[in-house]
Amino acid sequence: MQPVFWRDAALPFIEARAIRGGRDLCYARHTHDTFSIGAVTGGVSTYWNRRSKETIVAGSVVVINPEDAHACNPAAAQPWSYRMFYVDVDWLAGLQHELGFSRNADFRPFSSTSNTTLFAGLNALYATLTSRHADALQKQSAAVGFFMDVQQALDPAPAPLVDANGKLLRAAEFISDNCTRQLALDDICAAAGLSPAYLIRAFKGQFGMTPHAYLVNRRVQYGQARLKRGAAIADAALESGFADQSHFQRAFKQHLAATPGQYRGR
């Protein structure tokens, strides 16, 4: 099967590649100027990273620091499948700094070359990034959250959360006040004076949901109010900030256990 590449102008720091059922895909040892992390989703392969060599199977996650020579090839010409992410080093270094590493340091390489605990999270991130239903805020939040998990799994950062309730409240107010327009994670962080890493970690603890879930909840409430005033469902969907009526229908039913039509019909 041909490789499938994913990229999004709204998330220029990350790119994805997927192969399903590849049999003749053989790589010479090579390097990337990005940080790379990938999951084997089917088959068996031989994985070289620097001077180490191991056999990896479905459920394995490979970790490749920038400029590390590596190769991963199917064992005995058997079909295999994988997903890879290629991440801008400066972006990841910035996230490391936010998590407590020295701001004077460059990207801090990981000592581990493989892992299994990150498999489910990696696949969940791939599903979110490639989803037609996920917006930029949801995708960026998922990326920040996953790579925070990567850091925690491979080289935990020491920085504790600090008290910033006032800033978290400003973040929530900004989301509420701007729920009908497209928001990026950077917009919310700038309004609240918080870093993306802190916001993703602390917001759910404060409000019981992620910033994206909070935004969707506010949009549903806005649409609900429009329906009460007699707006057509299609108009309520667009005025609430949803991409289209089907997105509105799905979110409305998840939140209220009723369709917009059922609610408006009262």
pLDDT tens digits, residue range 10-26? 999 999 999 887 666 66
Residue 266 has pLDDT above 60, yes or no: no
Query: Which position has the higher pLDDT, 180 or 74?
Result: 180
Among candidate residues 154, 187, 210, the one where a domain is terminated: 154
R_g over Cα of the chain: 21
Among candidate residues 118, 136, 154, the one where a domain is terminated: 154
Residue 7 has pLDDT above 60, yes or no: yes
The CATH number given to whatever domain includes residue 107 is 2.60.120.810
Residue 60 has pLDDT above 90, yes or no: yes
Residue 70 has pLDDT above 90, yes or no: no
137 and 222 in a single domain? The answer is no
91 and 147 in a single domain? The answer is yes
HEC letters along the chain: CCCEEECCCCCCCEEEEEEEEECCCCCCCECCCCEEEEEEEECEEEEEECCEEEEEECCCEEEECCCCCEEEEEHHHCCEEEEEEEECHHHHHHHHHHCCCCCCCCCCCCCCCEECCCHHHHHHHHHHHHCCCCCHHHHHHHHHHHHHHHHHHHCCCCCCCCCCHHHHHHHHHHHHHCCCCCCCHHHHHHHHCCCHHHHHHHHHHHHCCCHHHHHHHHHHHHHHHHHHCCCCHHHHHHHCCCCCHHHHHHHHHHHHCCCHHHHHHC
Least confident segment among 54-63, 105-114, 145-154, 183-192: 105-114
Pairing of strands 35-42, 80-87: antiparallel
Please give the pLDDT value at position 62. Answer: 95
175 and 236 in a single domain? The answer is yes
The CATH number given to whatever domain includes residue 233 is 1.10.10.60
pLDDT tens digits, residue range 164-219? 678 999 999 999 999 999 999 999 999 999 999 989 988 888 887 899 999 999 99
- Per the prediction, the chain carries an average pLDDT of 88
Query: Which position has the higher pLDDT, 124 or 160?
Result: 124
130 and 46 in a single domain? The answer is yes
Residue 53 has pLDDT above 70, yes or no: yes
Least confident segment among 94-98, 112-116, 157-161: 157-161
164-193 b/e (C-beta count within 10 Å ≥ 16 → b): beebbebbbebbeebbeeebbbebbbebbe
Please give the pLDDT value at position 206. Answer: 82
Residue 226 has pLDDT above 70, yes or no: yes
119 and 192 in a single domain? The answer is no
Query: Which position has the higher pLDDT, 158 or 78?
Result: 78
| Percent over 90 (pLDDT), the chain | 59
Residue 86 has pLDDT above 90, yes or no: yes
150 and 170 in a single domain? The answer is no
26 and 119 in a single domain? The answer is yes
Residue 98 has pLDDT above 90, yes or no: no
Q: Residues 6 or more apart from 226 whose CB is under 8 A from it?
A: 235, 236, 239, 240
181 and 236 in a single domain? The answer is yes
112 and 127 in a single domain? The answer is yes
193 and 125 in a single domain? The answer is no
Mean pLDDT over 38-62 rounds to 90
Q: Kindly report the backbone phi and psi dihedral angles of residue 40, in degrees, each rounded to the nearest multiple of 5, phi listed first.
A: -85, 120
Q: For the chain, what is the domain count?
A: 2
User: Is residue 193 a contact partner of residue 230, using CB atoms and an 8 Å limit?
Assistant: no
Range of the domain at 22: 4-154
Residue 90 has pLDDT above 60, yes or no: yes
Please give the pLDDT value at position 102. Answer: 67
77 and 198 in a single domain? The answer is no
Among candidate residues 102, 130, 154, the one where a domain is terminated: 154
199 and 68 in a single domain? The answer is no
pLDDT level of residue 130 (50, 70, 90 thresholds):
very high
pLDDT level of residue 157 (50, 70, 90 thresholds):
low
